[in-house]
Protein backbone atom coordinates (compact mmCIF):
# COMPACT_ATOMS: atom_id res chain seq x y z
CA UNK A 1 0.00 0.00 0.00
CA UNK A 2 1.22 3.47 -0.81
CA UNK A 3 0.07 6.75 0.72
CA UNK A 4 -1.37 4.89 3.68
CA UNK A 5 -3.91 3.18 1.44
CA UNK A 6 -4.47 6.16 -0.85
CA UNK A 7 -4.46 5.79 -4.60
CA UNK A 8 -1.42 6.97 -6.58
CA UNK A 9 -2.77 10.52 -6.80
CA UNK A 10 -5.11 12.01 -4.22
CA UNK A 11 -6.36 15.58 -4.02
CA UNK A 12 -8.37 16.18 -0.88
CA UNK A 13 -10.46 19.32 -0.43
CA UNK A 14 -8.15 21.31 -2.67
CA UNK A 15 -8.77 25.00 -3.25
CA UNK A 16 -6.65 27.55 -5.08
CA UNK A 17 -7.14 31.26 -4.74
CA UNK A 18 -4.99 33.56 -6.87
CA UNK A 19 -4.43 37.10 -5.73
CA UNK A 20 -5.16 39.40 -8.62
CA UNK A 21 -5.40 43.16 -8.97
CA UNK A 22 -9.15 42.75 -9.22
CA UNK A 23 -9.16 40.81 -5.94
CA UNK A 24 -9.02 37.12 -5.04
CA UNK A 25 -9.79 34.70 -7.87
CA UNK A 26 -10.99 31.26 -6.80
CA UNK A 27 -9.57 29.02 -9.54
CA UNK A 28 -10.20 25.70 -7.74
CA UNK A 29 -13.15 25.45 -5.39
CA UNK A 30 -12.82 22.38 -3.24
CA UNK A 31 -11.80 19.43 -5.38
CA UNK A 32 -11.54 15.80 -4.36
CA UNK A 33 -9.88 13.76 -7.07
CA UNK A 34 -8.25 10.35 -7.03
CA UNK A 35 -6.30 8.49 -9.68
CA UNK A 36 -5.35 4.86 -9.25
CA UNK A 37 -2.05 3.38 -10.32
CA UNK A 38 -2.07 2.56 -14.03
CA UNK A 39 -5.10 4.70 -14.86
CA UNK A 40 -5.35 6.84 -18.00
CA UNK A 41 -7.46 9.91 -17.24
CA UNK A 42 -8.48 12.77 -19.49
CA UNK A 43 -9.34 16.16 -18.03
CA UNK A 44 -11.67 18.24 -20.16
CA UNK A 45 -13.50 21.51 -19.63
CA UNK A 46 -13.82 25.02 -21.01
CA UNK A 47 -10.91 27.41 -21.22
CA UNK A 48 -10.32 29.11 -17.87
CA UNK A 49 -12.18 26.43 -15.89
CA UNK A 50 -9.09 25.49 -13.86
CA UNK A 51 -7.64 22.48 -15.68
CA UNK A 52 -4.05 23.71 -15.70
CA UNK A 53 -4.29 24.89 -12.11
CA UNK A 54 -5.59 21.47 -11.12
CA UNK A 55 -2.83 19.49 -12.77
CA UNK A 56 -0.18 21.91 -11.52
CA UNK A 57 -1.20 20.67 -8.07
CA UNK A 58 -0.42 17.10 -9.09
CA UNK A 59 3.03 17.99 -10.36
CA UNK A 60 3.72 20.32 -7.45
CA UNK A 61 4.40 23.16 -9.90
CA UNK A 62 1.80 25.04 -7.89
CA UNK A 63 0.47 24.43 -4.41
CA UNK A 64 -3.07 24.66 -3.09
CA UNK A 65 -4.36 27.46 -0.89
CA UNK A 66 -6.00 24.77 1.24
CA UNK A 67 -6.42 21.02 1.10
CA UNK A 68 -3.96 18.18 0.67
CA UNK A 69 -2.16 16.62 -2.27
CA UNK A 70 -0.61 13.16 -2.14
CA UNK A 71 1.26 11.67 -5.08
CA UNK A 72 3.16 8.39 -5.18
CA UNK A 73 3.49 8.15 -1.44
CA UNK A 74 4.45 11.78 -0.80
CA UNK A 75 2.46 14.52 0.83
CA UNK A 76 3.34 17.43 -1.43
CA UNK A 77 1.57 20.00 0.70
CA UNK A 78 4.12 19.86 3.50
CA UNK A 79 7.26 19.80 1.36
CA UNK A 80 9.45 22.82 0.69
CA UNK A 81 9.53 24.18 -2.86
CA UNK A 82 13.06 22.87 -3.32
CA UNK A 83 12.12 19.42 -2.15
CA UNK A 84 9.05 19.36 -4.39
CA UNK A 85 11.19 20.32 -7.40
CA UNK A 86 13.61 17.49 -6.66
CA UNK A 87 10.77 15.08 -6.06
CA UNK A 88 9.13 16.07 -9.36
CA UNK A 89 12.34 15.49 -11.29
CA UNK A 90 12.43 11.91 -10.12
CA UNK A 91 8.77 10.98 -9.99
CA UNK A 92 6.69 12.96 -12.45
CA UNK A 93 7.05 13.51 -16.17
CA UNK A 94 5.43 16.69 -17.44
CA UNK A 95 4.54 17.49 -21.03
CA UNK A 96 3.21 20.90 -22.04
CA UNK A 97 1.46 22.21 -25.11
CA UNK A 98 4.52 24.12 -26.29
CA UNK A 99 7.11 21.35 -25.88
CA UNK A 100 9.57 23.56 -23.96
CA UNK A 101 12.71 21.90 -25.24
CA UNK A 102 15.89 23.89 -24.68
CA UNK A 103 16.75 25.40 -28.08
CA UNK A 104 20.52 25.37 -27.57
CA UNK A 105 20.64 21.64 -26.82
CA UNK A 106 20.30 18.81 -29.32
CA UNK A 107 17.42 16.38 -29.04
CA UNK A 108 19.69 13.86 -27.33
CA UNK A 109 21.06 16.48 -24.92
CA UNK A 110 17.53 17.61 -24.06
CA UNK A 111 16.58 14.05 -23.15
CA UNK A 112 19.75 13.50 -21.13
CA UNK A 113 19.25 16.69 -19.13
CA UNK A 114 16.77 15.50 -16.44
CA UNK A 115 19.20 12.73 -15.51
CA UNK A 116 21.85 15.31 -14.61
CA UNK A 117 19.83 16.09 -11.51
CA UNK A 118 18.99 12.61 -10.33
CA UNK A 119 22.37 10.99 -10.03
CA UNK A 120 21.89 8.49 -12.83
CA UNK A 121 25.32 6.94 -13.38
CA UNK A 122 27.02 9.12 -16.00
CA UNK A 123 28.03 6.24 -18.22
CA UNK A 124 24.37 5.15 -18.44
CA UNK A 125 22.74 8.46 -19.31
CA UNK A 126 23.33 8.43 -23.05
CA UNK A 127 22.15 4.84 -23.37
CA UNK A 128 19.03 5.50 -21.32
CA UNK A 129 18.22 8.60 -23.39
CA UNK A 130 18.66 6.63 -26.60
CA UNK A 131 16.24 3.97 -25.32
CA UNK A 132 13.61 6.66 -24.76
CA UNK A 133 14.28 8.20 -28.17
CA UNK A 134 13.88 4.77 -29.68
CA UNK A 135 10.54 4.40 -27.88
CA UNK A 136 9.26 7.64 -29.40
CA UNK A 137 10.84 6.77 -32.75
CA UNK A 138 13.27 9.65 -32.99
CA UNK A 139 16.62 7.89 -33.24
CA UNK A 140 17.22 9.46 -36.66
CA UNK A 141 17.14 13.05 -35.34
CA UNK A 142 19.04 12.79 -32.04
CA UNK A 143 21.77 15.24 -33.09
CA UNK A 144 19.40 17.86 -34.49
CA UNK A 145 18.30 20.97 -32.63
CA UNK A 146 14.61 21.47 -31.79
CA UNK A 147 14.23 24.15 -34.48
CA UNK A 148 15.35 21.62 -37.10
CA UNK A 149 12.57 19.10 -36.46
CA UNK A 150 8.77 19.20 -36.79
CA UNK A 151 6.34 20.08 -33.99
CA UNK A 152 5.27 16.44 -33.71
CA UNK A 153 8.89 15.36 -33.40
CA UNK A 154 9.54 18.04 -30.79
CA UNK A 155 6.60 16.83 -28.74
CA UNK A 156 7.83 13.24 -28.95
CA UNK A 157 11.27 14.45 -27.80
CA UNK A 158 9.57 16.23 -24.89
CA UNK A 159 7.81 12.98 -24.02
CA UNK A 160 11.11 11.08 -24.16
CA UNK A 161 12.56 13.69 -21.82
CA UNK A 162 9.56 13.38 -19.49
CA UNK A 163 9.99 9.60 -19.34
CA UNK A 164 13.74 9.34 -18.98
CA UNK A 165 13.73 9.18 -15.19
CA UNK A 166 11.06 6.49 -15.28
CA UNK A 167 8.35 8.54 -13.54
CA UNK A 168 5.37 6.91 -11.88
CA UNK A 169 3.07 9.58 -13.33
CA UNK A 170 3.01 11.33 -16.68
CA UNK A 171 1.05 14.58 -16.71
CA UNK A 172 0.18 16.37 -19.93
CA UNK A 173 -1.30 19.85 -20.28
CA UNK A 174 -2.81 19.80 -23.75
CA UNK A 175 0.20 17.90 -25.08
CA UNK A 176 -1.44 17.49 -28.48
CA UNK A 177 -2.89 21.00 -28.53
CA UNK A 178 -0.27 22.36 -30.88
CA UNK A 179 0.01 19.39 -33.20
CA UNK A 180 -1.57 18.49 -36.52
CA UNK A 181 -4.07 15.63 -36.38
CA UNK A 182 -1.61 12.98 -37.53
CA UNK A 183 1.09 13.96 -35.00
CA UNK A 184 -1.54 14.20 -32.28
CA UNK A 185 -2.72 10.68 -33.08
CA UNK A 186 0.87 9.40 -32.90
CA UNK A 187 1.50 11.03 -29.55
CA UNK A 188 -1.79 9.69 -28.29
CA UNK A 189 -0.91 6.20 -29.51
CA UNK A 190 2.36 6.45 -27.62
CA UNK A 191 0.47 7.36 -24.44
CA UNK A 192 -1.68 4.28 -24.93
CA UNK A 193 1.44 2.12 -25.17
CA UNK A 194 2.86 3.68 -22.01
CA UNK A 195 -0.34 2.96 -20.11
CA UNK A 196 -0.18 -0.65 -21.27
CA UNK A 197 3.28 -0.78 -19.72
CA UNK A 198 2.03 0.54 -16.39
CA UNK A 199 2.50 4.32 -16.58
CA UNK A 200 -0.26 6.39 -14.98
CA UNK A 201 -1.29 9.28 -17.22
CA UNK A 202 -3.37 12.36 -16.50
CA UNK A 203 -3.85 14.49 -19.57
CA UNK A 204 -5.71 17.73 -20.15
CA UNK A 205 -7.08 17.81 -23.65
CA UNK A 206 -9.33 19.89 -25.84
CA UNK A 207 -9.40 17.20 -28.44
CA UNK A 208 -12.80 15.50 -28.32
CA UNK A 209 -11.73 12.61 -30.52
CA UNK A 210 -8.79 11.82 -28.27
CA UNK A 211 -10.73 12.27 -25.01
CA UNK A 212 -13.35 9.88 -26.35
CA UNK A 213 -10.71 7.15 -26.53
CA UNK A 214 -9.54 7.58 -22.94
CA UNK A 215 -11.16 5.22 -20.42
CA UNK A 216 -11.90 7.85 -17.77
CA UNK A 217 -12.90 11.43 -18.51
CA UNK A 218 -13.11 14.04 -15.79
CA UNK A 219 -14.66 17.42 -16.45
CA UNK A 220 -13.71 20.66 -14.75
CA UNK A 221 -16.29 23.42 -14.77
CA UNK A 222 -15.72 26.71 -13.02
CA UNK A 223 -13.13 25.33 -10.61
CA UNK A 224 -15.06 22.23 -9.67
CA UNK A 225 -15.17 18.64 -10.85
CA UNK A 226 -18.41 17.66 -12.50
CA UNK A 227 -19.57 14.30 -11.19
CA UNK A 228 -18.22 11.76 -13.62
CA UNK A 229 -21.63 10.42 -14.55
CA UNK A 230 -22.56 13.96 -15.56
CA UNK A 231 -19.63 14.66 -17.86
CA UNK A 232 -20.90 16.66 -20.81
CA UNK A 233 -20.45 14.18 -23.59
CA UNK A 234 -20.69 16.88 -26.19
CA UNK A 235 -17.13 17.56 -25.04
CA UNK A 236 -16.20 13.96 -25.64
CA UNK A 237 -16.52 12.00 -28.82
CA UNK A 238 -17.98 8.54 -28.35
Contact residues for ligand ADP, defined by CB under 6 A: 18, 20, 25, 27, 45, 47-53
Q: b/e for 27-38, b at 16 or more Cβ within 10 A?
A: bbeebebebeee
Q: How far is CA 228 from CA 37, 161, 163, 170, 233, in A?
A: 19, 32, 29, 21, 11
Which of ligand ADP, Mg ion, none has residue 24 at its interface (CB below 5 to 8 Å by kind)?
none
Residue (100 or 118) nearer to Mg ion, CB: 100
Q: How far is the CB of 18 from ligand ADP (least distance, A)?
A: 3
Q: How far is the CB of 12 from ligand ADP (least distance, A)?
A: 19
- 52 in contact with Mg ion (CB under 5 A): yes
- 53 in contact with Mg ion (CB under 5 A): no
> Positive or negative CA dihedral for 88, 93, 99, 104?
positive
Q: How far is the CB of 45 from ligand ADP (least distance, A)?
A: 6
Q: How far is the CB of 234 from ligand ADP (least distance, A)?
A: 17
Q: Nearest residue to Mg ion, using CB?
A: 52
Which of ligand ADP, Mg ion, none has residue 25 at its interface (CB below 5 to 8 Å by kind)?
ligand ADP
Residue (24 or 73) nearer to ligand ADP, CB: 24
* Residue 103, number of CB atoms within 10 A of its CB: 9
Q: How far is the CB of 16 from Mg ion (least distance, A)?
A: 13
Residue (52 or 165) nearer to Mg ion, CB: 52
- 153 in contact with Mg ion (CB under 5 A): no
Residue (49 or 77) nearer to ligand ADP, CB: 49
Which of ligand ADP, Mg ion, none has residue 27 at its interface (CB below 5 to 8 Å by kind)?
ligand ADP
Q: How far is the CB of 54 from Mg ion (least distance, A)?
A: 9
Nearest Cα neighbor of 111 from 81, 86, 135 is: 135
Q: How many residues of this chain bind Mg ion (CB under 5 A)? A: 1
Amino acid sequence: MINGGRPLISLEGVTKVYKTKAGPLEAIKGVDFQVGEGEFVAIVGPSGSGKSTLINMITGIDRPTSGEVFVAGERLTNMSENKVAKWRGRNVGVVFQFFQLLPTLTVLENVIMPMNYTGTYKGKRRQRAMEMLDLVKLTDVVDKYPSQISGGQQQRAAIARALVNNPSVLVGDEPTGNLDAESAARVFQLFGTLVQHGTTIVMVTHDRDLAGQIPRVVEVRDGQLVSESEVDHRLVAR
